[in-house]
Amino acid sequence: MAHGSVRVRFAPSPTGLLHIGGLRTALYNYLFARKHDGEFVLRIEDTDRSRYVADAEQNIIDALQWTGLDYDEGPGVGGEHAPYRQSERGDLYRKYARELVDQGAAYYAFDTEEELDALRARGEDGDGTPAYDSSTRRDMRNSLTMAPETVERKINEGEDYVVRLKVPPQRTIHFDDEVRGGVSFDAAEIDDQVLLKSDGMPTYHLANIVDDHRMGISHVIRGEEWLSSTPKHVLMYEALGWDPPTFAHLPLIMSPDGSRGGKLSKRDAERLGIPVYVTDYREAGYEPDGLLNFLALLGWNPGTEQELFDLEEMVEAFSLDRVGSSGVQFDLDKLRWVNEHYIRALSVTELAERARPVADAEGYEVSDERLEEICALVQERVQVAPEVVTDNRYFFEDPEEYEEEGVEKRWTDDSADLLLAYADRLEALDGFDADDLETVLRDLADEKDVGAGAIIHPARLAVSGRSYGPGVFGLMAAVGKEACLRRMRRAAEVLG
């Protein structure tokens, strides 16, 4: 492959927040471009004005910036193929729509909504899809059934029309796919797709092939849902005398719910507690590098045992021939496992910076120094940064209840007396560091002729409400003297 010959694009529609599947598509395009010293283009496909959401484009750009997937051309960056918003390229699409009509590869259609509804009602399948194709187009009002002067008059008089692709009926349309190998479609199964709508805006199909050609896109790497549209695109490339790009259709992201199977829908995701949008992952405290690492492996197999990759390592290892064609199940536990490794790689200061907004939002007043102390204690135990706070509230507030299993297993008839004796000795201390707390406890245990655990376990339960967690002396030092004494005396009273 020649140096710099690779040009790929990520072309989302600004119809809402960027979906996690969209980010994976962007990532694979980015990896492929960087691997081959190519260009990665961001193009906004905003021709469906009925579904357009005002701040969706910014959300897409923010998501790419947050994850470090920097694009070489696109909105805000510019480039020689500007503009990169399809809504600003309308004249171009109308020009090529006319050219397709002139070539006999497309035609004008003047059918009203009522006429299309009637066609729909006649449809054998009854699924609400208007089978406007080679078998029905001769019964409709279009430039294939009208005299040329009638067509010209209707257009001049401003009558609404669309431009439709004229799919040849008896033909097999074949193309090669980098992920799926050779793919064939029977043209008889393909409808005469609308290319230009009555508002003069193109559909995805026309705008996409015009822009991919004009922008010199060498490889179209997109989701499997576009596979069935590709034969229509191949027909247009042929009619316009253009070489098509190389296609690669990525596998679907499937629901982890085996019994239901199928593509991961928004409804399934909500039911299973899986975030759907990139924004959700950011708000949930996932590390952007961890999220990309997980997404890369959701469809691509590096062919080695390695599971943790930074972006540079991914670029080095990535190839389309190791992308699978069958759907891959989303595994939230795996994502959390991957993210946990990125959390552990942070400095304590970095982790505290990520935990700070959560502590503030919860109304916990905690100094930077103390928050870092807490982070150092729990860093090995959290999978996402907010858990520093949300899973360890005992650092910030007194426990309201005590873990039943822990009390049953660890609280004995002597526990209250031992705990009160320990609290009294701690009260006399000047300092309150982990070493002092341990020395006092072990001395007391020797005096009372009990194992250290006889005091350690009740102390942990009293201070944190739990029987597990980081080392008890570090935990108590981070909670602080006043709170520890208060909690120990309360537990002795409540648990008796």
The residues that are catalytic are 266
Do residues 161 and 116 touch, judged by C-beta distance below 8 A? no
Do residues 355 and 388 touch, judged by C-beta distance below 8 A? yes
Closest CA to 429 of 419, 439, 415: 439
d(CA 249, CA 25): 10
Do residues 475 and 460 touch, judged by C-beta distance below 8 A? yes
Residue listed under structure tokens 């069935």: 228
Residue listed under structure tokens 């991914």: 314
Do residues 40 and 79 touch, judged by C-beta distance below 8 A? no
Element (H, E) at 186: strand 181-186
Do residues 160 and 198 touch, judged by C-beta distance below 8 A? yes
Do residues 274 and 332 touch, judged by C-beta distance below 8 A? yes
- Paired tokens of 232: 């229509």
The residues with which 184 forms a beta bridge, in sequence order, are: 174
Amino acid at residue number 354 = R
d(CA 204, CA 266): 23
Closest CA to 186 of 236, 252, 231, 245: 231
Residue listed under structure tokens 């008839």: 413
Closest CA to 89 of 55, 155, 44, 26: 44
